[in-house]
């Protein structure tokens, strides 16, 4: 809403929420770029996080701290020892969705059920943590760097680490630093967006939304290019080439001869067979971009 008001643009969408207490990078799509929000939400993300050891929380962050007259002491480990302990959280792991989250169960938000004192079975998700690095340990505060797949809850990771150590833990600070190669250090604050818009310089700072779509692609002829807007059926004779290998069912882009993205869709034939395919359907449209 702040971006809408700052630049006078109604069509604004984000590609992944941040918890209220978190900070950092949020990729915003404006205008015609809102067409691709759903395709950017699956990108991997990186975070810098601080975990407070020795105390638990119902929300897994500082909002729901469980007070105790005798909190458990944080362990006396070195940063190197912590790195070994965290091995079991690297790679593909199963995470249970936090009770205080917006995920729906039986039509109700989990946080609504939690606030009403109702306990339900929370869904589990398979997520991938590609990097989990211990930055420092200044007892009781553990600083880590995390790179992970969509849907990973860093709050849950903090709580799970506390359970493993049998001392309790909660997420005390979180900053998102990277989204699909985009860096926080290159981002704009909301105030900067407003100032650049007022000075007429904002457009020069925006990324092309077509550059954000790094899927494998199919190049089409100039004649077929004009037919994409109407969702015309793609045949092998309309294809001039491909970029990268893909399999049946993979998401791909249609591009023109200059490399401009025309549409997003699903390949119905793999890249090795597509130029010689005689199948009636070799591409299914999901979204036309031009």
Closest C-alpha to 171, from 200, 189, 146: 146
**Both 83 and 163 in a single domain?**
yes
User: Which CATH number do you get for residue 91?
Assistant: 3.30.2350.10
- Other C-beta atoms lying within 10 Å of the C-beta of residue 86: 19
Residues 46 and 146 sit within 8 Å (Cβ to Cβ): yes
Among 133, 163, 179, which residue terminates a domain?
179
Q: Please list the helix, strand and coil fractions of the chain in percent, rounded to the nearest 5, in that order.
A: 30, 30, 40
- Assess whether 160 carries a catalytic annotation: no
Residues 36 and 134 placed together within one structural domain of the fold:
no
60 and 160 in contact (C-beta within 8 Å)?
Answer: no
End-of-domain residue from the set 128, 163, 179: 179
Q: Which of 194, 209, 224 is the endpoint of a domain? A: 209
Claim to verify: residue 82 and residue 147 sit in the same structural domain: yes
Looking up residue 258, the CATH number of its domain turns out to be 2.30.130.10
pLDDT of residue 70: 61
Check whether residue 219 and residue 284 sit in a common domain.
Answer: yes
- pTM of the model as a whole: 0.84
User: How many other CB atoms are found less than 10 A from the CB of residue 134?
Assistant: 19
| pLDDT of amino acid 104 | 86
140 and 169 assigned to the same domain: yes
Question: Same domain for 140 and 57?
Answer: yes
Residue 193 to residue 198: CA distance in whole angstroms: 9
Q: What is the pLDDT of residue 99?
A: 83
Claim to verify: residue 24 and residue 65 sit in the same structural domain: no
- What is the full per-residue pLDDT of the chain (290 aa) written as tens digits? 999 999 999 999 998 888 888 999 999 999 988 988 888 888 899 999 999 999 999 899 988 887 765 668 888 988 888 888 899 999 999 998 888 888 888 788 888 877 888 888 888 899 999 999 999 999 999 999 999 998 899 999 999 999 999 999 999 999 999 998 899 999 999 999 999 999 999 999 999 877 788 889 999 999 999 999 999 999 999 999 999 899 999 999 999 999 888 999 999 999 988 888 777 789 999 999 87
Positive or negative: CA dihedral 267, 269, 270, 273: negative
19, 160, 238, 256: the active-site residue: 19
Q: Looking at the structure, tell me whether residues 34 and 92 fall in a common domain.
A: no
Shared-domain flag, residues 152 and 58: yes
pLDDT at 212: 83
SS3 assignment, position 193 = helix
Interatomic CA distance for residues 156 and 266, integer angstroms = 34
Distance, in Å, from the CA atom of 167 to the CA atom of 169, rounded to the nearest integer, reads 7
pLDDT at residue 257, rounded to an integer: 92
CB 177 within 8 A of CB 184: yes
**C-alpha span between 249 and 226 (Å, rounded):** 25
Q: Do 201 and 260 have their domain in common?
A: no
d(CA 224, CA 32): 22
Neighbours of 53 (CB within 10 A): 25
| 64 shares its domain with 132 | yes
272: domain range? 215-288
68/126 same-domain check: yes
User: Does a cis peptide bond (omega within 30 degrees of 0) precede residue 140?
Assistant: yes
Classify residue 67 by burial, with Cβ atoms within 10 Å: 0-12, 13-18, 19+. Answer: exposed
Distances (CA, A) of 26 to 6, 179, 219: 16, 8, 31
Domain count, the chain: 3
């Amino acid at each position: 809403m702040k971006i809408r008001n700052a630049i006078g643009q109604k069509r604004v969408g984000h590609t992944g929420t941040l918890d209220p207490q978190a900070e950092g990078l949020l990729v915003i799509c404006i205008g015609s770029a809102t067409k691709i929000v759903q395709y950017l939400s699956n990108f991997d993300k990186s975070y810098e996080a601080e975990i407070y050891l020795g105390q638990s929380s119902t929300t897994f962050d500082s909002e729901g701290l469980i007070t105790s007259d005798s909190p458990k002491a944080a362990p006396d480990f070195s940063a190197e020892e912590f790195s070994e302990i965290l091995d079991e959280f690297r790679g593909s792991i199963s995470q249970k969705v936090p009770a205080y989250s917006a995920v729906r169960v039986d039509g109700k938000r989990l946080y609504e059920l939690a606030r009403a004192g109702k306990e339900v079975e929370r869904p589990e998700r398979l997520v991938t943590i590609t990097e989990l690095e211990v930055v420092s340990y200044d007892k009781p505060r553990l600083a880590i760097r995390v790179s992970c797949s969509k849907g990973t809850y860093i709050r849950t990771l903090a709580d799970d680490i506390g359970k493993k150590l049998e001392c309790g833990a909660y997420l005390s600070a979180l900053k998102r630093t990277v989204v699909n190669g985009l860096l926080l250090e290159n981002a704009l604050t909301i105030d900067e967006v407003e100032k650049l818009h007022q000075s007429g310089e904002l457009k020069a700072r925006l990324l092309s939304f077509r550059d954000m779509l790094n899927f494998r692609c199919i190049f089409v002829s100039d004649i077929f290019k004009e037919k994409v807007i109407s969702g015309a059926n793609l045949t092998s004779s309309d294809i001039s080439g491909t970029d990268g290998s893909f399999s049946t069912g993979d998401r791909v882009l249609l591009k023109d001869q200059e490399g401009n993205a025309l549409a997003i869709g699903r390949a119905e034939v793999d890249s090795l067979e597509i130029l010689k395919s005689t199948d009636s359907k070799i591409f299914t449209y999901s979204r036309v971009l031009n």
